[in-house]
Amino acid sequence: MAKISRRRALTLAGVGAAGIAGTGAAALRFTADANAGANPDPVTGAVAFTGAHQAGIVTPAQDRLHFVAFDVITKDRDRLIRLLKEWTAAAARMTAGQDAGEIGAVAGIPEAPPDDTGEAIGLPPCALTITVGFGPTLFRGADGRDRFGLAARRPAALEPLPRFTGDTLDEALSGGDIGIQACANDPQVAVHAIRNLARIGMGTVSVRWSQLGFGRTSSTSTAQATPRNLFGFKDGTRNLKAEQEELLREHLWVQPGDGPDWMAGGSYLVTRKIRMLVETWDRSPLAEQETIIGRHKGSGAPLGLSDEFEEPDFTAVGADGEPLIPTTAHARLAHPDANKGARILRRGYNFVDGSDGLGRLNAGLFFIGYQRDPRTGFIPVQRSLAAQDEMNEYVRHVSSGLFACPPGVTGPDDHWGSALFA
């Protein structure tokens, strides 16, 4: 029964699954294509799980996100390693469009709970990627304890983030020992992935916080159009792209010699939940919105220019003698020129967590940024934004996370964190 795909499980399930077969049928062809053809459909097909780097970083940003941060509640190092092995196996299966467990959602004995929760039966892989990272607290707890004998292996780059001016962080929504990002082009597939990992982890880890996201707010490939964030602006025009291998080596992937060997080929992940005060933003004049961002709302072009991808001219001045792109504009402050060349690969998502009880949308941007070193990546950029960005009037940073994402899993005998725990 091993390695059964969800598609196969569906046919075997027969009459009992009749209710879902109708919806599954159309999707099934994609799975079959993905497995058979050399060029899987980029929307519904499978993304390779193994490789030099983890999938889900330069993978063309999918449309949906389920991110979760876990606290490790066991004290037993072997039990944690066992979980990482089980998680890796489940992640490999799920990204291929199979059930989380070897038995599956509907093929086990009636008396046992299924080893897959079943809500993805009949759905294709939907470009699911599952990316794991380790937080600073896994290496040394808040009380300074070396929890799993890893303290000496903590990279210097994994120093907890400093407090930025204006941060209104909720501790219960921040940090975590292990962060897992699941991205897919179907929200049900992303949720299924996280739900099954949480189920497998019960007793070893505990969910600390999680976040759903929709509508990618960045492009990570030149093949993708630039999406819009909830302020209505194009976001990620100048983002690092999968095709820019030279820049990725320089800014994204940890290089040998950067720190401990176990991180070579990995990347550092920063998450920030940024609540947007959309109601007040929506009341502000178009011209003010554009000067805050530094770009035209319609085209996404830098102020004073007409094409989205034109290089902004920060020296241009208007008729009043003031810079066309204000010194406090978001695009200027975030630009590599203002940050000693620092560049981050962003793959954030919009979120709406319903309303907040005052009738305001509880909405914003779940920022996700990957970089070779947060000390030269996110930290200086955010310091500058926190101090000067005019946009701060309309945003609140409520959650923050930092995770060291190890390199990719090399094959069936490898598992997440194998080099860290070796």
Residue with Cβ nearer another protein (208 or 372): 208
The rounded distance, in Å, linking the Cα atoms of 162 and 131 is 24
Supply the minimum distance, in Å, between the C-beta of residue 314 and another protein. Answer: 47
In order, the DSSP letters of 175-222 are --SEEEEEEESSHHHHHHHHHHHHHHHBTTEEEEEEEEEEEE-S-SST
Which two tokens mark 35? 């497995």
Supply the minimum distance, in Å, between the C-beta of residue 222 and another protein. Answer: 44
The rounded distance, in Å, linking the Cα atoms of 380 and 85 is 36
Asked if residue 14 binds another protein (CB under 8 A), the reply is yes
Asked if residue 18 binds another protein (CB under 8 A), the reply is yes
The rounded distance, in Å, linking the Cα atoms of 41 and 57 is 19
Residues 102-161 that bind another protein (CB under 8 A): 106-113
Which two tokens mark 270? 């920063």
Residue 96 makes CB contacts below 8 A (sequence gap 6+) with 5, 46, 49, 125
Residue with Cβ nearer another protein (201 or 266): 201
What number of helices (H) and strands (E) belong to the chain?
A: 11, 9
| Site of tokens 């560049």 | 343
x/- track of binding to another protein for residues 78-107 (CB under 8 A): ----------------------------xx
What radius of gyration do the chain's Cα atoms show?
22
Supply the minimum distance, in Å, between the C-beta of residue 79 and another protein. Answer: 10
Supply the minimum distance, in Å, between the C-beta of residue 135 and another protein. Answer: 17
When binding is defined by CB under 8 A, the residue of 25, 32, 48, 202 that contacts another protein is: 202
Residue with Cβ nearer another protein (19 or 359): 19
x/- track of binding to another protein for residues 344-383 (CB under 8 A): ----------------------------------------
Could you tell me how many residues of this chain bind another protein (CB under 8 A)? 25
Element (H, E) at 332: helix 330-334
Residue numbers of the site for another protein (CB under 8 A)? 1, 9, 12-19, 73, 106-113, 172, 199, 202-204, 206
